[in-house]
Amino acid sequence: MCSTRMPYVVAPPTGTRIRTRLRLTAADEQVVTAVGRHLATLAGQDLAWRCRRGLHADRRTERKRSLTAPSSSRWAGTITRTANDQWRRGYRNLLDARIGLRRAIFAIDRRLAVPINGRHGRTRGYPSRVERYQKQRRRQHLRAKLAEVERRLAEGRVSVCRGGRRLVRLRHHLDTAGLPASEWRGRWQAERLFLTADGEAEACWGNLTIRVHPDEQWPELRLPTPLAPLSNTSGPSGHLPAISPVVFNYRADQWAAQAATGAVRYDITYQPDRGRWYLDASWRLPAAELPSLEELQQERTLAVDLNADHVACGVLDSAGNPVGKPTTVPWIWTGR
* Residue-wise pLDDT tens digits, 94-149: 999 999 999 999 999 999 999 998 988 889 999 999 999 999 999 999 999 999 99
CA angle 101, 102, 107 (to 5 degrees): 100
Cα(66)–Cα(73) distance, rounded to whole angstroms? 10
For residues 268 and 212, state if they share a domain.
yes
pLDDT for residue 144: 97
Q: 266-319: per-residue pLDDT in tens?
A: 999 999 989 999 999 999 998 888 888 888 888 888 888 888 888 899 998 888
Mean pLDDT of 205-219: 87
Confidence (pLDDT) at 320: 80
What distances in angstroms separate CA 257 from CA 136, 206, 305, 311, one per listed residue?
Answer: 61, 10, 37, 36
Q: Give the pLDDT score at 3.
A: 54
What does DSSP assign to residue 275?
Answer: T
Say whether both 325 and 183 belong to one domain.
no
**Over 50: is that where the pLDDT of 236 sits?**
no
Residue 151 has pLDDT above 90, yes or no: yes
Which pairs with CB-CB distance under 8 Å and at least 24 residues apart come from 99-104? Answer: 101/142, 101/145, 101/146, 101/149, 102/146, 104/142
Give the bridge partners for 265, in sequence order: 282
Contact 214, 281 (CB under 8 A): no
Q: Are residues 173 and 305 in the same domain?
A: no
Region 20-40: mean pLDDT is: 91
> Is pLDDT at 232 greater than 70 in this prediction?
no
3-state SS assignment for residue 243: coil
Q: Are 316 and 301 in contact (CB under 8 A)?
A: yes
In a domain, 129, yes or no: no
Report whether 264 contacts 258 (CB < 8 A): yes
72 and 176 fall within a common domain: yes
Asked if residue 303 and residue 260 are part of one domain, the reply reads no
Residue 1, domain member (yes or no): no
Residue 1 pLDDT class (50, 70, 90 cuts)? very low
Q: Which of 23, 91, 25 is nearest to 53 (CA)?
A: 91
Model confidence over 240-255: pLDDT tens digits?
Answer: 544 568 889 999 999 9
pLDDT for 334 equals 65
One domain for residues 174 and 56: yes
* Paired sense of beta strands 301-306 and 276-284, if any: unpaired
Q: Do both 272 and 298 map to the same domain?
A: no
Indicate the average pLDDT of the chain.
89
Integer Cα distance of 270 and 289 in angstroms: 38
DSSP helix/strand/coil, 228: helix
Task: Note whether residue 71 is domain-resident.
Answer: yes
Burial class of residue 121 (count of CB atoms within 10 Å of its CB; 0-12, 13-18, 19+)? exposed
Do 60 and 188 share a domain, yes or no?
yes
Confidence (pLDDT) at 240: 54
Are 208 and 325 contained in the same domain?
no
Does this model's pTM top 0.85? My answer is no
| DSSP-assigned beta bridge partners for residue 306 | 311
Residues 277 and 193 both lie in one domain: yes
- Backbone torsion region of residue 59, taken as left when φ is above 0, otherwise alpha when ψ lies between -120 and 50, otherwise beta: left
The residue-averaged pLDDT of 215-236 equals 78
Residue pLDDT, tens place only, 56-68 = 988 999 999 999 9
- Residue pair 265/195 in contact (Cβ under 8 Å)? The answer is no
Q: Does residue 230 sit within a domain?
A: yes
| Distance, CA of 292 to CA of 143 (rounded, Å) | 44
In a domain, 93, yes or no: no
Measured CA to CA, the distance from residue 61 to residue 49 in angstroms comes to: 14
Q: Is residue 51, in this structure, part of any structural domain at all? A: yes
Establish if 157 belongs to a structural domain.
no
Q: How far apart are CA 314 and CA 301, in angstroms?
A: 8
Residues 6+ away with beta carbon under 8 Å from 251 = 16, 18
Give the separation between CA 209 and CA 197, rounded to whole angstroms: 6
Distances (CA, A) of 68 to 24, 47, 238: 27, 16, 18
DSSP helix, strand, coil percent of the chain (3-state; round to 5): 45, 20, 35
Do 264 and 300 belong together in one domain? Answer: no
Angle 26-53/60-68 helices, nearest 10 degrees? 150
pLDDT of residue 233: 63
Does the structure show a pLDDT above 90 at 215? no
Q: Which residue has the higher pLDDT, 258 or 7?
A: 258
Domain count for the chain: 2
Tell me which residue range forms the domain holding 323.
Answer: 293-330
Q: By CB neighbour count within 10 A (0-12 exposed, 13-18 middle, 19+ buried), where does 34 fall?
A: middle
272 lies in the same domain as 303 = no
In a domain, 209, yes or no: yes
pLDDT in tens, 188-208: 999 999 999 999 988 888 898
